[in-house]
Amino acid sequence: MRAASGTSGMAHGYACIVLANLVFTVGFGFVAAIDGGISVWQLVLLRGAVFALVLLPWAVRHADLARGSHRGLLLLRGGLGTAMVLCLLSAIAVLPLSVATLLGKTTPLWELLMLWLLLALRPHLSDLLLVPVAILGLVLILHPEGHLSLLSLSYVALVLALAAGMLNSLEFITLRRLRGSDAPHTINLWYAVVMIVVTLPFALLQPWPDELRIWLFAGMFCLCSLAGQSLLAEGMHHASPTFASVAALLVPVFATVIDWAVFGQVLSGLELAGIALVLLPAALIARAESRHSAALAVATLRWERGRSGES
């Protein structure tokens, strides 16, 4: 019965994370549609305000849970998440959406490095081999013709997009550790507070848009972000950061499928092959999820390990 329950929990976690990435994709589509009509600082401030307003009734009813158990880690996760979304939205405002999404979802490559640097968890050979395959799939999806040169794009924006991928990997690690002690709503409530505190001074210095369409798109982006973060926090209770980071590669895949289904874009054979190359590694890593989860359950940070050895 326990094995069946564990399998069911993992399946639930996988489903939540995959659905979260679909919702995130829809939200990024609204950001692209805004086309710079509102500053990144204001957009993230609105995102934090929506999170806080939606979660406030829950916080009032569950004051003890809302206070959080690991407040330092909650603040760290909020800071990492805020920095990640600021970097990614700034990149989307300058780069083509496909390029920003591709570089912003290099999370699995960063994930392997961060797990080794922070937790001393050596990457498995299967991960090292499968993640580059998934990245190759993204390249085929986004640039099947090879028509876009990165040299013609803003170097600052390219760095911001890559930084978003790195920050996202750290965010997944902190989320996985937090889900052992705090509820998803607690995590997102603290995230909202950090977003508001960080962005408010900068957002107030910017002129606010007066076009209704921009406000509607910004509102839809915020609601998609809230739904996606709630699903992600729920899924991280059962799935490892490795799976979550690989599943983040689905964002460009979903964007391509939405273009085909909604806007009538014709998919080439290379793009279909790219989608397969992204999905296959994610499925194979998911099969080995118990191995990642078992290692993370007993892993400690390198500096914590040194302290325990001294005592």
Can you tell me the mean pLDDT for 157-174? 85
Q: For residues 259 and 142, give the distance between their C-alpha atoms in angstroms, rounded to a whole number.
A: 12
Average pLDDT value for residue range 42-59: 93
In a domain, 1, yes or no: no
In a domain, 3, yes or no: no
Q: What is the pLDDT of residue 264?
A: 63
Helix spans in the chain (H) = 2-34, 40-61, 63-67, 71-94, 97-104, 107-119, 125-142, 155-178, 184-203, 212-235, 241-247, 250-263, 269-287, 289-298, 302-310
Of the listed ranges 117-126, 179-188, 219-228, 249-258, the one predicted with least confidence: 117-126
Residue 5 domain flag: no
Note down the domain range covering 250.
13-310
Cβ atoms 131, 243 nearer than 8 A: no
Distance CA 173, CA 301 (A): 11
Question: How many CA atoms does the CB half-sphere of 17 hold within 13 Å?
Answer: 28
Residue 4 located in a structural domain: no
**Residue 7, domain member (yes or no):** no
| In-domain check, residue 6 | no
Q: Is residue 247 part of a domain?
A: yes
User: d(Cα 110, Cα 114) in Å, to the nearest integer?
Assistant: 6
pLDDT value at position 291?
57
- Of 180, 166, 169, 188, nearest in space to 62 by CA: 188
Place 53 in a pLDDT band, splitting at 50, 70 and 90. very high
Cα 259 from chain centroid? Answer: 21
Is residue 248's pLDDT more than 60? yes
What is the mean predicted confidence (pLDDT) over 141-152?
A: 53
Task: Give percent above pLDDT 70 in the chain.
Answer: 72
Q: Assess if residue 175 is contained within a domain.
A: yes
pLDDT at 167 over 70: yes
Q: How many structural domains are present in the chain?
A: 1
Q: Is the pLDDT of residue 33 over 60?
A: yes
Query: Token digits for 95?
Result: 């780069």
pLDDT tens by residue, 60-95:
999 999 998 888 889 999 999 999 999 988 888 777
- Whether 188 shows a pLDDT value over 80: the answer reads yes
- Cβ atoms of 70 and 211 within 8 Å: the answer is no
What mean pLDDT do residues 100-117 have?
A: 72
pLDDT greater than 80 at residue 24:
yes
Residue type, 12: H
Q: Round to whole Å and give the CA distance between 10 and 287.
A: 10
Rounded to an integer, what distance in angstroms lies between the CA atom of residue 16 and that of residue 231? Answer: 5
pLDDT digits (tens, 9 = 90+) for 94-107: 776 666 777 777 77
Span 206-211, mean pLDDT? 90
